[in-house]
Amino acid sequence: MTSLHADEAFLGHYQLSHDPFAPRVPGFKFFPAQRKPVLGQLHHLARYSQLLLVVTGPEGSGKTLLRQALVASTNKQSVQSVVVSARGAGDAAGVLRQVAQALNVGQADADAILAQVVQLALTGQEVYLLVDDAEQLDESALETLMVLAAGAPEGRPHVFLFGETSLIGQLEALHLEEERFHVIELQPYTEEETREYLEQRLEGAGRGIELFTADQISDIHESSEGWPGSINQVARDAMIEAMIASRSAVKRPKMGFNMPKKHVLAISAVVVVAVAAAWLIPGRNKAPTTGAPTNEQAQLPLGQGQPAANGGAPAVEFAGSTQPMPLPLVGNSQPVMRAPLAEAAGGITEGDDGVPVEGSSATPPTVTTTAPPAGVPAGPAPTPAAKPAPAPTQVATAKPAPAPVAKPAPAPAPAKPAVAAATKPAEKAAPAAKAAGGTWYAGQAPGNYVVQILGTSSETAAQSFVKEQGGEYRYFKKVLNGKPLYVITYGSFANRDAAVSAIKALPAKVQAGKPWPRTVASVQQELATTR
């Protein structure tokens, strides 16, 4: 799930405004559990202690986030914060160079830096020196930082080291004669704190803790051992696994697995009928004096109907495709597959929400059959090859009008069923155009609730779903990451509890997609943004 398409599918499936478990998310709030007391302790020790302060914890324990919170919570007018990274510059020279550059000191040595710190102290400004990835500092860098932390009588910087637990052993190896540093070890979250942390992250992305069950939260806490970095990774993996399971088990239409085989059989039937028609129709009722071989007409490409004068075969047009579709069989009043039926069945090609994408190979072309003019035979009956001519002559003379149903002879394409098949998609398009529901949402009370069912990038899929379910299902259009998204909702309820109760009464297939209640006001806001 690292590609752009996969990320969009993840956000669209759960209706998230952004990835809630990314390292940096918009509008993220500092989570206080287990960390706010440490933050207060650091401020207190910086004011009243002369010791170098060390914050340790494993990778993903929140050290960097705590360092950012410490800088953000200081008074910018009275404190100048200098952040140094030990990654790639872990010796004394590398640390001094970064500090000197931040404080505008021309000479990168401890004495020049301390002189600048004293000058700032005289103006009422303190210096916080914060080092990230401090476990990568070598012995010379640690000794230099000890010198800076001791400072001068007139002033000194407050030095904070943020690193993994191995940093403690490195400091103890300096064999200092007196206590020169104080260690604060970060602690993991409890299970309840893990739940609160997940809830805060999800709410920031527009959803809630209902995305996880109690068992899932327990598993996330156990797998991550309560460290926030691991919680982010495990929670995201759990959501992706649930999304994949839901899409494979629920989003596939009922006919999804059978459609490929049926298409193969249908295409095979077309080939057989086309070859037989090409062999039987052309030239069979002509006089043999033309001198043309009887199989010459069989080389005509499929899809080009024979003229009425050349055997009276009906013309066949293929709308939207260069490949033929199954023609009507004997006594069958409909083509084998119609466009509306293909859309309702779900097709083979799935969009972001497991729904066929309009125009994909899953939606078969419409077959339109044009009837021959009145008085022209519909085609030769499959009588014995020795007498091909009498059959069409009898049909044309005795009963010219009902030619498509002459006795037991199979007509290649009755006119009326084909016209009905061609017009049915247009008939169903009219109610679908009214389903967008923008006016309906605008007319609802903002405090009401609707149940959001799913979102899809295909308006055709949304229309098909709404028509299939009927009742109180509607959809509206929004824009997600610059692309249109069609969101399907159900009902209108006076409060959240009523909407939650309605979810329990929905069909099992709809419930499996994890519908959720949302306010009408939020929908109206998205509609206003889209316009």
DSSP calls for 302-367 = TT-PPPGGGT-PPEEEEET-SS--PPP-TT--S-S--HHHHHHH--S-B-TTSSBPTTSTTSPPEE
Quote the crossing angle between the two packed helices 214-224 and 228-246, to the nearest 10°: 140
CA distance 401 to 26: 73
Residue 145's alpha-carbon distances to 129, 198, 217, 528, in angstroms, are: 9, 37, 42, 56
pTM of the model: 0.48
Query: Given this model, what pLDDT does residue 218 score?
Result: 94
Considering the segment(s) 36-185 as one domain, its CATH architecture is 3-Layer(aba) Sandwich (3.40)
Amino acid in position 131: V
**1 and 21 Cβ atoms separated by less than 8 Å:** no
- N- to C-terminal Cα separation, the chain: 31
Q: Which CATH architecture has domain 438-530?
A: 2-Layer Sandwich (3.30)
Q: Could you tell me the mean pLDDT of each successive run of 10 residues in the chain, 531 residues long?
A: 62 89 79 88 89 94 91 92 88 93 92 93 92 93 92 90 93 84 94 93 90 93 94 92 79 50 66 69 48 39 40 39 38 36 35 37 37 42 42 39 44 43 38 57 92 88 88 87 85 92 88 84 83 66
Closest CA to 35 of 70, 57, 67, 66: 66
User: How far, in Å, CA of 480 to CA of 530, rounded?
Assistant: 10
Q: Report the length, in residues, of the chain.
A: 531
Sorted by where each begins, the domain ranges of the chain are 4-23+190-251, 36-185, 259-284+297-429, 438-530
* Contact by Cβ (8 Å): 250, 269: no
| C-alpha of 531 from chain center | 23
Rounded Cα–Cα distance for residues 209 and 207 (Å): 7
CA angle at 175 for the pair 169 and 178, rounded to the nearest 5°: 110
Q: CB of 517 within 8 A of CB of 499?
A: yes
Residue type, 243: M
**H or E stretch covering 96:** helix 92-102
Beta bridge partners of 131: 84, 161
Q: CB under 8 Å, gap of 24 or more: what pairs does 174-179 form?
A: 174/139, 174/142, 174/143, 174/146, 176/146, 179/51
